[in-house]
Structure 1
């Protein structure tokens, strides 16, 4: 716990319901007797996006929404810096430090090196990083998610829905925060096959070899569309693109194919964040990025910053599978009941879901 005496206390605020949501490893901010936390008038939270930008309808946007909500609740201002390329990370962080940000949240694994360097150079500034647990420092708090658990449910649902007997996934970059989705997805398909005595195939990722299809980045571009087309050409009729905006390119490939193919979104419930893909969206594998950011910001504002990781799991609703929305009447009538049972099994430990990329707390 760091000394935050440099911040002055002002009015009390109500703690949002999401504050305790991701307290799987760390405790939620402490409350006073009337259920409030003390805000700091001069507290300035800041955020730096990865190259996907804050309008990606996914990872960065969810984090930014959490920053905005927390700042509004606290009655404080916030600052943001959008990165266009990897080269922007360090300058953007330096800019936030120069503007006297008290808490700087960096969005994504790719900002780890820049965050680690800046935290070492600025020990009196608190940092948090989403989707990275590699930094060991008193002033850096990881915000991480065991998304393999939720992706396991998504893989099971994909296998159940598939008519061709082939489903697929591909990623932006081969980094742990991407492959954890792909591991869970493939393992969920394997579990379906075992339970149903089926042989649904997964293309685009091999759990054993940890090799698969990647676009090399997170931009919605021709490379991402061609990668999605490669998955389609192998017969997949359910596809899970993992990597922010690359799902938009997958959607284009799906619609251009003229085939009955659906997609699984990641990070957010993409049905809500991007209505343009509703007609082909089976479900989404979600992270609680928004509420986790709110929790960390409010905790830091209240002088309760900790470097103990927040870990989102199925048990604390920090990860989950979105509703089937428009496809509810098109999936097997018994599927939701099976998923509920599997979810409980993962929570109580009777079903083991583990990825090499799963957070260890």
Structure 2
């Protein structure tokens, strides 16, 4: 009986492998079609996925491409969504986020005729380094440094407790890079500053109360500015800053629209990265087997709208540092 069960499992596994191979072999890609696969924060995070979708829609509206977004509700949706996007004949499929790396690595191996791109994960770090994949990477620490510098100056100007803070989502490199830059910039502007850091472990907007709780605790410890690095969850941190009359700092998208309590935002041009990937796929010039780096120098990173309450001298100091970073 045991032998029969083992044989049955092996046969089932072989059938599945052959089925996937047959599907991949039969899939045809169309350079005029593209798709994004989101992480679990959804399209309404007003941040990371929102920007990816913005880039997708720009390609659709300006280039006439056929595009779609596949929404991942749980981590287990990543691979099925990537496979579905490839099966639908998309010439390029963008996996939006660090957490999709393993799934994209697998999907790219199954569909060698489809180009796959992943945001916030370097191609060189992919397990199998698929030749049909590329990484869309960002020097988030550059923008993080600038918003941290500004926060440090504002804390020094106000006096009192020299404390600012950051609320991250999951403790992963893309989040930590933002926070590392933020801390370094704040220390440059204000060596006495203390930077409190907390993680919610979550990104979806439904987790906003958790991020708000963390931010309220930081504010109770004296934080004068809260940098949210938690996507939709981080909206709760910004709400805490508003509630307590403190500065909030947005992330990825320019979140100045949330209100007068927003000091500025660390901007990551995910929309630009997605649009360029779609555009180059349509033109037949999308290169793979490499990483595309986005930074301050090439416009892939930036600082959002700055509050009118910030002294012009502070903005000038920040811009001088920005020029230094760009110059190398």
TM-score bin, normalised by smaller chain: 0.7 to 0.9
* Counterpart for residue 251 of structure 1: 238
Kept after mapping to 2: 8 A contact 1:160/1:332? no
Kept after mapping to 2: 8 A contact 1:65/1:290? yes
Kept after mapping to 2: 8 A contact 1:103/1:125? yes
Alpha-carbon distance, 1:323 to partner: 2.3
Alpha-carbon distance, 1:252 to partner: 2.9
Q: Does the alignment pair 1:111 with 2:92?
A: no
Deviations 1:78-121 (A, max 9, x none): 12211111111111112112212221111000111100010011
* Counterpart for residue 278 of structure 1: 259
Alignment of 1:114-133 (within 5 A): 114-133=103-122
For residues 295 and 238 of structure 2, the distance between their equivalents in structure 1, rounded to whole angstroms, comes to: 28
* Counterpart for residue 298 of structure 2: 316
* Counterpart for residue 81 of structure 1: 70
* Counterpart for residue 250 of structure 2: 265
SS in 1 for 2:148: helix
* Counterpart for residue 11 of structure 1: none
Count of residue pairs brought into register by the alignment: 290
Q: Provide the alpha-carbon RMSD of the alignment.
A: 1.6
SS in 1 for 2:134: strand
Residue of structure 2 aligned with 1:137, choices 124, 130, 133: 130
For residues 333 and 94 of structure 1, the distance between their equivalents in structure 2, rounded to whole angstroms, comes to: 51
Deviations 1:308-329 (A, max 9, x none): 32211111121011121xx22x
SS in 2 for 1:183: helix
For residues 122 and 166 of structure 1, the distance between their equivalents in structure 2, rounded to whole angstroms, comes to: 50
Kept after mapping to 1: 8 A contact 2:56/2:274? yes
Residue of structure 2 aligned with 1:218, choices 203, 218, 243: 203
Q: Does the alignment pair 1:192 with 2:189?
A: yes
Kept after mapping to 1: 8 A contact 2:203/2:234? no
Alpha-carbon distance, 1:7 to partner: 7.0
For residues 316 and 305 of structure 1, the distance between their equivalents in structure 2, rounded to whole angstroms, comes to: 18
TM-score, normalization: structure 1? 0.77
For residues 63 and 238 of structure 2, the distance between their equivalents in structure 1, rounded to whole angstroms, comes to: 38
SS in 2 for 1:279: coil
SS in 2 for 1:282: strand
TM-score, normalization: structure 2? 0.85
Deviations 1:28-56 (A, max 9, x none): xxxxxxxxxxxx5xx21011110011121
Q: Does the alignment pair 1:176 with 2:173?
A: yes
Alpha-carbon distance, 1:253 to partner: 2.2
Structure 1 residue runs of 5 or longer lacking an equivalent are 1-5, 9-39, 205-212, 350-361
Report runs of 4+ in structure 1 exceeding 4 Å deviation: none
* Counterpart for residue 325 of structure 2: 346
For residues 148 and 251 of structure 1, the distance between their equivalents in structure 2, rounded to whole angstroms, comes to: 20
* Counterpart for residue 271 of structure 2: 290
SS in 2 for 1:314: coil
Structure with greater proportional helix content = 2
Q: Does the alignment pair 1:301 with 2:288?
A: no
For residues 191 and 225 of structure 1, the distance between their equivalents in structure 2, rounded to whole angstroms, comes to: 28
Q: Which gives a bigger RCO, structure 1 or 2 (Cα 8 Å, sep 6+)?
A: 1
